[in-house]
Structure 1
Amino acid sequence: MTEDDRPHNPRVVVTHRLPAVIEARMAELFDTMLSPEDAAMDRATLTEAVANCDVLVPTLADQIDAALIDAAGPRLKLIANFGNGVDHIDLKAARAKGIIVTNTPGVLTQDAADMAMALLLSIPRRLVEGERRMRSGEWTGWRPTAMLGHRIHGKTLGIVGMGRIGQAIALRARGFGLSIRYHNRHRLPDVVERAVDATFCPDLDAMLGQADFISLNCPHNDETHHLLDRRRIAVMRPDAYLINIARGELVEERALVDALEAGTIAGAGLDVFAHEPAIDARLRALNNVVLLPHMASATIEAREETGNKVIANIRMWADGHRPPDQVLEGWV
């Protein structure tokens, strides 16, 4: 599609409710069909949408697979994802059909890092368990042996995936006296390692066996699916804690639950799950787990910044330019 062919007032379909200020701006700028309910579109509605729009604005809750892309009409030329992760979009199918895919990098970094640290603090100090006892009336007063947890200062944090979020976590963790090790596809430049005071570990298994805390911060793709499988979970120390704010599919969930039940790892802080919104019932019964409803990026600021990036990508595309956040070949 050339610049002259692109619609100046594109038909945009949004699959979920977005912040009101973002919806209002989209309605001003484009021929926008907003979602009437704050729930995922069913498959039939989504199929009808891609058949009749120029731009689709999905979220991670929508499966934009090859079959759906194949059903898209000739008008659909841009999938402007509301969010950074695009593992729910078949990028190969989109490229084959000439559809550009964009995402919204950078806007979630600080909020996600804050949540990772909140989980890191809450698990070993048993904050959620203590809060539950207070609300249930079980607390009978202070005792020297009651609600004992583990100190954070002086421990080692292993970060898997040292991108923007991983680096932001490292900077926060240093303030709590943690030493930082990281595993990444590629080693960071020396200047970045010095800035975050982190040591590169090329062997993931070795890092898993050394760290008191493991934080997962890498994208989900074919290479990282079940990156922490049963074998690697068994490598972790029995006093170690797992933190996952990235994607549930990075972990073999059944193996993780088995390890938590058996006490072969100390605990976990989970904001994401393998089969969202379904949660393994055994997880709910465990006191050594903190469970959150995929809310690491759930701030007003992050949602509005994400929406503004989506709008910017659509406007640049409609004006005949390459969108600033186009997802390129080899994205991970």
Structure 2
Amino acid sequence: MTASGRPRVLLMHPILDPGPAILAEAAEVNAYPSNRPLDQQSIREAAEGCFGIVSHLKDPIGPVVLSTPGLKCVSNVAVGFDNIDIPTATSNRVMVTNTPGVLDESTADFAFALLIAAARRVVQADTYTRQGNYKGWEIDLMLGTDVHDATLGIVGIGRIGRGVARRAKGFNMRVLYSDTNPLVPEMEQQLGATHVDLSRLLAESDFISVHVPLTKETHHLISTAQFAHMKPNAILVNTSRGPVVDEAALVEALKAHRIAGAGLDVYEREPAVHPGLIALHNVVLAPHIASATTRTRSEMSAMAARNMATAVRGGKPPNLLNPDVRK
């Protein structure tokens, strides 16, 4: 609380308009110093006296931070929240919010972009051309894989997975999906998607796109055994969470040509990328930008700011992840 009686909010990183104005209407906003390390003790020190923290996925919000006296809310500018210890937040009576729904379509766009880029060797061809290697049309230059009429396997048929399935219809793809909560028949018919177990999906799919949250059950969901089930021409796309895919196993599968390629937007130990991936030409690498359009990131910023502003004013944030805190 400031001397004027206004609550304080710690803004870990800049957010896009209109987020800053929404926050400023509700509280005094303190920016986290850009040169300060992103460890829990440093964040706790910066958060002392603050009502809330507006965080990003790279911010570790664990027991040290969540026990800060007076802390009441953490608003994550992301749909994911594996950077936040939710049970500890709940036990400390700290509300936690996220930004669901707003980034689904942009992320589905990017998953398909990675799929096509890997299939048609777009990044490799760009590098080849820039390096002056293009000397004229050749019948076997940069041969890739057809996307149209291929089989797409979607692992996790939530909002983003369904978005990818809708895009696949435009390419006349056969769509398989695996999920512990199957779609109702009407939705399956609308999407043209068939529910199968993961083993069958891996064995029959030309492209596999992963869209599951990171949990104990999904950690290394795709690893050595799963790569062994895939077709040698298969291409894996991951825009969910890095640890869902065993990166070391992926490197070995790509090196041994057990699968043909991959497109990745997330990594097991972000921002670090497995060095084995860097050296491979058959994987497209992106820096966690699946939701990175101006409109989507602005809407995420506004939603996170509104979540915090509602909490500051004593209300229930619309995207509260741990409602037991308010009981």
The answer for the alignment partner of 1:30 in structure 2 is: 27
Letter in 1 for 2:274: D
Aligned twin of 1:166:
161
The reply on whether 1:270 has 2:257 as its aligned counterpart is no
- What is aligned with 1:11? 8
What CA deviation, in whole Å up to 9, does each residue of 1:255-276 have, x standing for no partner? 0000000000000001111111
Task: Give a deviation string over 1:88-129, Cα, whole Å, max 9, x none.
Answer: 111111111111111110111111011011111111111111
* CA contact 2:51–2:72 (8 Å) conserved in 1: yes
Higher relative contact order, chain-length normalized (CA < 8 Å, sep 6+): 2
Partner in structure 2 of residue 52 of structure 1: 49
TM-score (norm 2): 0.93
Shift of residue 10, structure 1, vs aligned partner: 2.7
1:285-300 matches, within 5 Å, as 285-300=279-294
Residue 280 (structure 1) aligned with residue 274 (structure 2): yes
Say whether the 8 Å CA contact 1:104–1:325 is kept in structure 2: yes
Aligned residues: 321
In structure 2, stretches of 5+ residues that fail to align are: none
- C-alpha displacement of 1:12: 0.7
8 A contact 2:157–2:179 mirrored in 1: yes
Q: Report percent identity of matched pairs.
A: 40
Alignment of 1:217-256 (within 5 A): 217-256=211-250
Residue 123 of structure 1 aligns to a residue whose secondary structure is helix
In the alignment, what sits opposite 2:188?
193
For residue 148 of structure 2, what is the aligned residue in structure 1?
153
Native 8 Å contact 2:52 2:72 kept in 1: yes
CA distance in 2, matches of 1:184, 1:39: 41
Q: 308, 311, 323: which one pairs with 2:317? A: 323
Choose from 85, 89, 98 the match for 1:90.
85
Question: One-letter code of the match for 2:299?
Answer: E
Pick which of 8-17 and 80-89 moved more.
8-17
Calculate the TM-score normalised by the size of structure 1.
Answer: 0.92
Establish whether residue 67 from structure 1 lines up as the match of residue 64 from structure 2: yes
1:284-332, CA deviations, whole angstroms, 9 ceiling, x for partnerless residues? 11111101111111111111101111122123223332211011479xx
For 2:99 and 2:205, how far apart are their aligned partners in 1?
Answer: 31
Q: CA RMSD in A?
A: 1.9
Q: Which runs of 5+ in 1 are unaligned?
A: 1-6
1:15 and 1:302 mapped to 2: Cα distance?
A: 19
Letter in 2 for 1:211: S
Question: After superposition, what is the alpha-carbon deviation per residue over 1:211-241, rounded to whole angstroms, capped at 9, x for unaligned?
Answer: 1111011111111111112111211111100
Query: Within the alignment, does 1:99 sit opposite 2:94 as a pair?
Result: yes
Is the Cα–Cα contact under 8 Å of residues 40 and 60 in structure 2 kept in the other structure?
Answer: no
Q: Tell me, yes or no, if the aligned pair for 1:158 and 1:214 is still in contact at 8 Å.
A: yes
What secondary structure, in the 3-state scheme, does the structure 2 residue paired with 1:242 have?
strand
SS of residue paired to 1:322? coil
Shift of 1:8: 8.5
User: Which segment drifts farther, 98-107 or 8-17?
Assistant: 8-17
